Amino acid sequence: MSVPYTVRVAEDPADREACFAVRKEVFVREQGVAEDIEYDAHDTVAVHVLAVGEDGVPLGTGRLLHGEAAAAKTGGDASVGSLGRLAVARGARGLGVGVALVRAIEEAARERGLRAVDLHAQTHALGFYERLGYEAYGPEFPDAGIPHRAMRRDL
C-alpha cells in the first residue's frame, strides 16, 4: 500500500504541534517514555521535520540539533549535528517515511554547514540506520530505560 506524503521543515506552530503529537503517540503511548522527559528545552531551538499525508494527517517527525544544543550529544564538535526524536506513526511504518525524514534532517544539517550527523539509536533500529550509512560506535547505554547505541554518518 502506498500513501502519498510530503516531508518539510516544520515552520509554524501548527507544524510543531503535529511533530509533538507524533512523538507523544510513539514515545509516550507506545514506548512508555515519561512525558516530562520526552519534551525538552532543545525543542525550542531544534530544526523539526514533519511528514504529512496528503490528507493532512501527520505521519512522522524528527529533529536536528546543531551548535551549542548538540554539543552534549556530539562530543562538543560544532561541525556535527544531532538527529533525534525520529518517530513514525504506527500506520505509516514501512512506507519509507523514516528514510525520508532522515534524509530531510541530513539536508538541513548540510544547509547549516555541518559535516556529520550523530544520533542515539534504539538498539532495535540499528539496522535501519546502518542501511542509511550510519556506523555505530561506543558501548550500549540506556536512555529512558531503552537500550541505545551512538551512531554517526559523515555528510
What one-character DSSP code corresponds to residue 39?
A: S
Q: pLDDT category, 2, cuts 50, 70, 90? A: low
pLDDT at 38: 92
* Cβ pair 101, 88 in contact under 8 A: yes
Among the listed residues 36, 31, 94, 33, the one whose alpha carbon sits nearest the alpha carbon of residue 60 = 94
Task: Determine what percent of the chain is predicted with pLDDT higher than 70.
Answer: 98
- Residue 1 pLDDT greater than 70, yes or no: no
0.75 exceeded by pTM: yes
Closest CA to 99 of 125, 73, 118, 78: 125
pLDDT tens figures, 100-138? 999 999 999 999 999 999 999 999 999 999 999 999 999
Cell numbers placing 94: 514501512
Residue 137, number of CB atoms within 10 A of its CB: 10
Q: What is the tens place of the pLDDT at every residue in 44-59?
A: 999 999 999 999 999 9
99, with CB counted inside 10 A (0-12, 13-18, 19+), is middle
Residue 124, classified by CB atoms within 10 Å of its CB into exposed (0-12), middle (13-18) or buried (19+), is exposed
